[in-house]
């Protein structure tokens, strides 16, 4: 039975607008919004083998690059909060890599992006390291689930793991082409970044 002393929640348009007008400071401290709205793009060149692994994982689970960026960012922040120094957290900077790089782009909520940036700076990482760190964390965190998914798919389609990986790569290429086609159909031009991602 409802408590008669509990104020009735607004449900009509008039009630909702009146409630909003009566409480202009909701979600704010000293007139400043605490919860950021919108998203921020994580962008950076990462080693191609890492990029490819990220593509395989996102395709295996029907994820996009934005989800990879978000999951990787949460994992990076979590790991850095556990380890006292950045050196303990990630050792990839000690590895020499002279191979090709690919541009990674993925959006994430502004609050998550700000927390990631701040945490990385506290641990002594440069902004240009951010995409590699985030995607490394994403790939590392998902590895066991990904291996399980690969096994499921090879059994389902009765093909080799290599064939599944080729299909993942083809699917990613198809998505990229479809986005570019849609952009051109809308009368927009491909940017330098769009062209850079062309194979």
Residue 123: pLDDT band (50, 70, 90) is confident
Domain boundaries, the chain: 39-196
Name 142's Cβ contacts closer than 8 Å, sequence gap at least 6: 57, 61, 71
- Is pLDDT of 62 > 90? yes
End-to-end CA distance of the chain: give it in Å, rounded: 64
- Residue 45 CA to residue 105 CA, distance in Å, equals 9
Mean pLDDT for the stretch of residues 14-20: 93
What per-residue confidence (pLDDT) applies to 3?
A: 66
Name 80's Cβ contacts closer than 8 Å, sequence gap at least 6: 86, 89, 119, 120, 122, 123
- Residue 168 CA to residue 155 CA, distance in Å, equals 16
What per-residue confidence (pLDDT) applies to 199?
A: 45
- Residue 122 CA to residue 137 CA, distance in Å, equals 18
Element (H or E) spanning 42, and its range?
A: strand 39-47
Mean pLDDT for the stretch of residues 3-24: 87
What per-residue confidence (pLDDT) applies to 192?
A: 81
- Is pLDDT of 94 > 90? no
Q: For the ranges 7-21, 75-89, 149-163, which has the lowest average pLDDT?
A: 75-89
pTM score: 0.82
Summary mean pLDDT of the chain: 89
């Amino acid at each position: 039975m409802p408590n008669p002393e509990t104020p009735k929640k607004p449900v009509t348009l008039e009630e909702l607008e009146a409630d909003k007008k009566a409480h202009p400071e909701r979600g704010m401290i000293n007139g400043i919004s605490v919860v950021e709205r919108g998203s921020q793009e994580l962008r950076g060149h990462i080693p191609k083998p890492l990029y490819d692994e990220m593509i395989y994982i996102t395709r295996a689970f029907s994820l996009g690059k934005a989800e990879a960026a978000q999951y990787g960012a949460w994992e990076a922040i979590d790991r850095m909060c556990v380890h006292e120094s950045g050196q303990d957290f990630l050792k990839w900077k000690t590895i020499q890599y002279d191979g090709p790089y690919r541009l990674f782009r993925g959006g994430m909520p502004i609050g998550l992006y700000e927390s990631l940036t701040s945490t990385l700076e506290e641990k002594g990482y440069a902004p240009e390291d951010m995409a590699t760190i985030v995607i490394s964390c994403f790939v590392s965190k998902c590895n066991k689930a990904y291996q399980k998914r690969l096994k499921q798919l090879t059994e389902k389609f009765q093909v080799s793991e290599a064939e599944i990986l080729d299909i993942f790569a083809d699917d990613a290429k198809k998505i990229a082409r479809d986005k570019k086609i849609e952009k051109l159909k809308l009368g927009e031009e491909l940017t330098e970044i769009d062209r850079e991602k062309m194979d």
